Chain A
């Protein structure tokens, strides 16, 4: 069932979601174009291996599109999508730990790609990644949503089902621990 209205890149997320719910696959494609890279950054920042990022992005969008009827607009679609990504990442970490193909800590340190690029990425980025992996999940997600994605505390709180004050506390704890790790 195709929407009679043409889909434009300027359509709002809400309009695209409604079009997708009406069966328009072009709306889903546009949502992936719009939010795919931010999601990939969030997943990689949360500890996903680069080789797994594409699959995790796909799985996150699949879960989101199938559950989009539950999205009530309490936060932005992207924020909601990122929280689903956090759950997908957690499940992937559990599977990796259970299957013992690659231990989780090792997976977090494992980096694909050009050695030169890795060197450019720098030791500091690696240490930040290590520090993030050691944070409790809530602190890690709040830090990424705030520092990486630039979201407001109110938005983060709505997505994670907590208060803005609690989100702020999680963020401050995360920053303190990360700075200690970097020093």
Chain B
């Protein structure tokens, strides 16, 4: 039994007519416009759904980093500023005469002070110390 025997003209014609009225009523331009509008809307919704958690994750990361920095600063070792820095700043404001007075005072202090093996400058002779201070004098 072949296809032509099975499908008589009436059934074929009926099948071709199925949905013809619905197809004729379809406004293709309006349908196309609606499809594009709905596609844009869905794309916008998809982006919003994606952006929301992304921004939340970014904000959470910023808070964590900032908190970590603050915490590290509060518990970390504070490095003392080098004392020579402050001495130099103080000496900058002195006149030549005043600097000579300071050096003379230092000479006397060094001559009167007992020698300390553990002092930081003990390896320097008084002359070397004077040379250091004179270099600070500029």
Contact = CB atoms under 8 A, between A and B. Distances in A.
Interface of A: 25, 28-29, 32-33, 36-38, 40-45, 48, 50, 53-54, 57-58, 61-62, 65-66, 113, 117, 121, 124-125, 128-129, 132, 143-144, 147-148, 171-172, 175-176, 178-179, 182
Main secondary structure of the interface of B (DSSP, over half): helix
Contacts of A50: 21-22, 25
19 contacts: A28-B36, A29-B32, A36-B28, A37-B26, A40-B23, A44-B18, A44-B21, A54-B26, A54-B27, A58-B35, A62-B38, A62-B39, A117-B21, A125-B17, A128-B14, A132-B18, A143-B15, A175-B6, A182-B11
B74 interface: no
| Residue with the greatest number of chain A CB neighbours at <10 A, chosen from B20, B23, B27, B42 | B23
Contact of A40 (B8, B17, B26): B26
Contacts of B12: 147
Interface of B: 3, 6-8, 10-12, 14-29, 31-36, 38-39, 42
Q: Is the interface of A mostly helix, strand, loop or mixed?
A: helix
A125 B20 CA distance: 11
B15 A147 contact: yes
A163 B12 CA distance: 23
Contact of A65 (B7, B15, B22, B35): B35
A62 B20 CA distance: 22
B26 A53 contact: yes
B44 to A, nearest CB: 14
Contacts of B33: 29
Contact of B15 (A29, A48, A148, A172): A148
B99 to A, nearest CB: 75
A28 B23 contact: no
B7 to A, nearest CB: 5
A61 B10 CA distance: 32
A143 B6 CA distance: 12
B135 to A, nearest CB: 69
A53 B32 contact: no
Given A50-B21, A58-B38, A62-B35, 13 more contacts: A32-B31, A32-B32, A33-B29, A36-B26, A48-B22, A53-B19, A54-B26, A62-B38, A124-B14, A172-B6, A175-B6, A176-B6, A182-B11
